[in-house]
Amino acid sequence: MKEARFLKILIEEKGLVRLLKTIGTGRGYSTRELLTKLGAYGYGHKLLLKAQKRGLVSRKTVQNKVYNSLTEDGKKIVKLAKEIGV
């Protein structure tokens, strides 16, 4: 059932998939650094909060900075997107 949810996200949420691919499977990015890399501050932040709400991104606060990294579900979506070529 989760796979169907992942496919729905891949089809309907192109911006969210781009955000997840930008974060990648490596180290976490601070929010400011991530939004600068995306080039979208207002919309990018809304997408980031949406991804957190859906359980795709985890956010931790360290010394007044919020670091964002992918959860296991987020990593699965990135992997699936690479396999499909999205």
Residue 30's beta-bridge partner residues? 67
In the prediction, which pLDDT does 57 show? 93
List Cβ neighbours of 50 (8 Å cut-off, separation of 6 or more). Answer: 16
Report the predicted TM-score, pTM, of the whole model to 2 decimal places. Answer: 0.85
Angle at 61 between CA 57 and CA 65, to 5 degrees: 105
From residue 30, how far is each of 37, 62, 81 by CA, in Å? 11, 10, 23
Domains of the chain from N-terminus onward = 2-84 (1.10.10.10)
Res. 25: pLDDT tops 80: no
- Residue 78, both tokens: 């990135």
pLDDT digits 0-9 by tens, 31-81: 998 888 888 888 889 999 999 999 999 999 989 999 999 999 989 889 888
57 and 20 Cβ atoms separated by less than 8 Å: yes
Return the closest-CA partner of residue 51 out of 27, 82, 78, 84. Answer: 78
